[in-house]
Amino acid sequence: METGTENKLRDTLKRVFGYNTFRGTQEEIIENVMNGKDTFVIMPTGAGKSLCYQLPAIAKEGTAIVISPLIALMKNQVDQMNAVGINAKFLNSTLTKGEMTKVKKETLAGEVKLLYVAPESLTKEANIEFLKQAHISFVAVDEAHCISEWGHDFRPEYRRIKAIIKGFGDIPVVALTATATPKVQLDIKKNLEIEDADVFKSSFNRTNLVYEVKPKKQAKKQLIRVVKEHKGESGIVYCLSRKKVEEIAEFLRVNGVKVAPYHAGMDSGIRMKNQDAFLNEDVDVIVATIAFGMGIDKPDVRYVIHYDVPKSIEGYYQETGRAGRDGITSKVIMFYSYNDILKLEKFNKDKTVTERENSRFLLEEMALYSESAVCRRKQLLHYFGEEYHVDNCETCDNCLTPREKFEGLECVQQVIETVKQTGERFNMDHIANVIRGVKSDHVLSYSHDQLKVFGVGAEQDDHYWKSVIRQTLLHEFIRKDIDNPGVFLLADKGVNFLTDPYHVELVKDHEFESEGEEEEIEKETINTTAYDKVLFDLIKHLRKKVAKQKDLPPYVIFQDPSMEEMATLFPTTMDDLVKIVGVGESKARKFGKPFLELIEKYVEDNDIITASDVLVKSSANKSKNKIFIIQQIDRKIDLEEIAESKDMKYEDLITEIEHICYSGTKLNLDYYIDQLLDDDRQDDIYDYFMNSETDDMEEAMEELEEYYSEDEVRLMRIKFMSEYAH
């Protein structure tokens, strides 16, 4: 590029964006775009992707079209450009007809330098005809991974982009993405027909991020601890559902956190208001679905928390990349439970077979990453085709607290041999089944039960072998087939290893299932498998001392479940103590004082967040639901209709009605029950509850299941309790 053009670009960089120098490969990329060449940019979140098309758009004649998947992203970038004196506009469904006409008029007059267009808007015939008349400098396809069914945010509209662009003439294309595996990279180039594009790939290594995966157990308690550790700092909490976003935002709010929710189900005005409040530091924490953050340029996000497991490594990586964009050390934490993986698999049941298989593959990668004890950084970089040869990154939980290691020479040999003997055509499930000697239909159909390797690892389970296969891949003894993700091929290193084996150190995976699943703190009885054993022993010793003083057996003072819960929730006030299972007000008054003093001292000495720091309050949404449900039942609305109107499952509505009943509200469900059961059958269930010593559903179903469904029995139990308990 000519020196004059170079100077012009640097002047624009300083004048418009306020930077003295380019970062990384930005200058080379911009030169390529200025020279009218197709350009493919793979650059991690926070590395300055947007500049790569914004600056040449300003410098070149005409209007640059930026195809962008999110309205929030468009608004944010258009606002930024307009704020520095650059005429940028967007074309999407939020504009009125008059506003749209104005945008088109300014574009055709050559006044607009950047025109952001949603892919859905681009496919409209009226917009295509308008753009054919405009002077277009180039087309930038942002978030280009959306073009691939193997990407984490597949958008079918992106498949039509190339055909539409061709109608505008011979215009260069710039594709940009922050997350692209080798397979997705091939998909992008093929679908945009830019196979000959110059590719600029930056390192995916975000050295300032500290990666951590925690078991999803008492997750709200863990969440509030992290948020309070970062008091006054900006953070993002990602949840998978809108309902969970509202619930977690309310939970943080009642715990004194300046927080706002963000999801697609909210009114767009409120959503934008919440986004701006976060950007302007009026709120510290945004709780959001995955839509939040794409293109949001906030450099000082100090932590990103995934309350639910993401759908893919790509999504996880991009979302974590919103932390620490200013280069300062920042935390990224995920709460992991395999139950989340199973839930996500259920969401895919209505997809096509291909989409289901793709989603299942991405979820399995997510599970393997979460459960693996190998360096998180090494795993992430390998996933995106970049190798990391440092033994200890010192900035992930697996490196900071290493797991037990074991000699893997023989296991690795068996994996390589199995890939070889099965013809380098199969995925992890198949390889693991062959090694374990599982005679699945798939294994038998290929006669792989006849191979020498069949059953050589029968003594170990499926999880063990999948971990070994994964680590064999990370050690580069085998490699993935780019054209068929999930299929393993032999690497030269693996072939050589079979003839000249040597010591290989493998790491034992985390055992998240044995560590327990999510246990929400608002439940009356806490799962106490994770109680503080040191405190428990101190309480137990004090109990023995108090019992001796009062000449009583120790269990009369407090029973073990009560002490375990004390060592979990750390009660330091009488109000906290009476919430402990098995502790009533009289017992708390009679015996509680010395125990509270002991716990308070322990909390101070060890800097622990206590039960009183985590307020347990019902959210406003729940109380609104309660009032709504009671009103609808009073109006004799069918339960299915009530559930549908609140976007609830029928079973969840019954559970909600049970809570309302058991909290003291009398409900009359006769209008609904009479449609399901005649008088004799109602009397039969009534007689059971009248004569039973418990209202436990499991015991009731043991007695009644042959004649009645669980829903019928639950409804009759509500009727019974309403009539006799209130």
Mutual angle of helices 242-254 and 219-229, in 10-degree steps? 60
Distance CA 361, CA 183 (A): 13
- What's the Cα-to-Cα distance from 3 to each of 8, 80, 154, rounded to whole Å? 9, 28, 41
Distance CA 93, CA 77 (A): 17
pLDDT on residue 415:
95
Q: For residue range 318-366, what is the model confidence (pLDDT) as tens digits?
A: 899 889 988 899 999 999 988 888 888 877 777 777 778 888 888 888 9
Distance CA 83, CA 65 (A): 19
Distance CA 480, CA 181 (A): 11
Confidence check: pLDDT of 586 > 70:
no
Q: Which residues contact 111 (CB under 8 A, 6 or more apart)?
A: 87
Phi/psi for 601 (5° steps) reads -65, -40
Q: For residue range 617-668, what is the model confidence (pLDDT) as tens digits?
A: 444 455 567 788 888 888 888 898 898 888 888 888 998 888 776 554 678 9
Place of tokens 């967007």: 90
Query: Given pLDDT bands bounded at 50, 70 and 90, which one contains residue 30?
Result: very high
DSSP for residue 16 = I
- Per the model's pLDDT, the better-predicted residue between 621 and 50 turns out to be 50
582-608 CB burial, b ≥16 within 10 A, e <16: ebeeebbeebbeebbebbeebbeeeee
Lowest-pLDDT range, 71-85, 463-477, 498-512? 71-85
Q: How do 505-507 and 405-407 pair as beta strands?
A: antiparallel
Mutual angle of helices 125-133 and 97-108, in 10-degree steps? 20
Q: For residue range 383-394, what is the model confidence (pLDDT) as tens digits?
A: 888 888 888 899
Structure tokens at 250: 């309310």
Q: For residue range 383-436, what is the model confidence (pLDDT) as tens digits?
A: 888 888 888 899 999 999 888 889 999 999 999 999 999 999 999 999 999 999
- The β-bridge partners of 234 are 301
In terms of Cα–Cα distance, which of 535, 218, 203, 253 is closest to 380? 203
Distance CA 270, CA 262 (A): 9
Q: Is the pTM of this model over 0.85?
A: no
Phi/psi for 614 (5° steps) reads -110, 95
| Domains, the chain | 3-201 (3.40.50.300), 209-386 (3.40.50.300), 409-503 (1.10.10.10), 533-613 (1.10.150.80), 621-724 (1.10.10.1390)
